[in-house]
Copies of this chain bind each other. A is one copy, B any other.
């Protein structure tokens, strides 16, 4: 195998109760990447289409992650990257995580799959650091593993795959304004009330319990955030209005995706997600902001091979 074309999904992370801990892939949008072995032992980004990202291999998250991999794996070849960047950077749906996961997955396949899933996650994280300063895995882990994924710890890296209720669907609106992950992190307080921390702990615990018991109502009552949303929602146009529409139309919960500005809602069944999509799109059409929306199952599929 000398060439591979892969699709790497966008991801919703944090998911209300799981700041820095939880994420899942969206099925309907992701970056595509063709990675080709080259004789010359170097990395080259030969082409980028779609949204603009750096061609410099030391600035592009795909190649930053790839560089760490080849430093370790020392393959007898180099790699050429042709990137179709479908996810707008700084959108809050794991744009850099998608690209980093794509390149790690592709190179691993091209080298005969020497890495385990967890090793792939650890390399993809190296790309993430470049865009968000802090090391985190709540985008790359679900992008690589699929399904609802929990980051138990970063050091040592430990990832848990949680059960995904079958009828769980997701609506996402991506307002086309850029919010830098690093800035969105800066506006967070360094300290939080012990009481709020305790609420977040119990809420996340009941969320995990609801997944195992497939209790959609409990899941809905667990999609709350007591730490982050109030700070970050200020960066998002019409956040309260979107959330109001979602909750008034049967969403199990609604909060910020990643570090924003994207907003997601979870629903039981696709119909409610579609309905919320129509209503929120109507609201946004009159707002003057450009935007995209997505409706997706909480997919069990992470990065995948499109063709060899």
Using CB atoms and an 8 Å cutoff, list the residues of chain A in contact with chain B: 17-22, 150-153, 158, 160, 162, 188-194, 196-209, 212, 218, 221-222, 227
Are A188 and B192 touching (Cβ within 8 A)?
no
Are A205 and B208 touching (Cβ within 8 A)?
yes
5 additional A-B pairs beyond A152-B221, A192-B193, A201-B201, beta carbons within 8 Å, are: A21-B201, A162-B209, A189-B194, A201-B204, A208-B212
- Given A18-B201, A192-B197, A194-B188: A209 and B208 interface contact (C-beta under 8 Å): yes
Across-interface contacts of A221 in B (CB, < 8 A): 152, 158
Are A191 and B188 touching (Cβ within 8 A)?
no
Measured CB to CB, the closest approach of chain B to A232, in angstroms, equals 13
Across-interface contacts of A227 in B (CB, < 8 A): 194, 197
- Given A158-B221, A192-B191: A152 and B197 interface contact (C-beta under 8 Å): no
Across-interface contacts of A206 in B (CB, < 8 A): 150, 152, 158, 160
* Neighbour of A200 across the interface among B18, B22, B193, B201, CB < 8 A: B201
* Neighbour of A150 across the interface among B194, B196, B205, CB < 8 A: B205
Measured CB to CB, the closest approach of chain B to A218, in angstroms, equals 8
Are A150 and B209 touching (Cβ within 8 A)?
yes
A152 nearest CB neighbor, chain B only: B206
- Within the assembled complex, what's the spacing in Å between the Cα atoms of A152 and B158? 25
A198 nearest CB neighbor, chain B only: B20
* Neighbour of A203 across the interface among B18, B152, B207, CB < 8 A: B152
- Within the assembled complex, what's the spacing in Å between the Cα atoms of A249 and B200? 33
Are B205 and A207 touching (Cβ within 8 A)?
yes
A228 nearest CB neighbor, chain B only: B194
Across-interface contacts of A152 in B (CB, < 8 A): 202-203, 205-206, 221-222
Across-interface contacts of A153 in B (CB, < 8 A): 199, 202
Measured CB to CB, the closest approach of chain B to A216, in angstroms, equals 15
Residue contacts A-B, CB under 8 angstroms, 29 given: A17-B201, A18-B202, A21-B201, A22-B205, A152-B202, A152-B203, A152-B206, A152-B221, A153-B202, A160-B206, A160-B209, A160-B218, A162-B209, A189-B194, A191-B193, A191-B194, A192-B193, A192-B194, A192-B197, A194-B227, A196-B197, A197-B227, A201-B204, A202-B204, A204-B204, A204-B205, A205-B207, A208-B209, A209-B212
A19 nearest CB neighbor, chain B only: B198
Across-interface contacts of A19 in B (CB, < 8 A): 198, 201
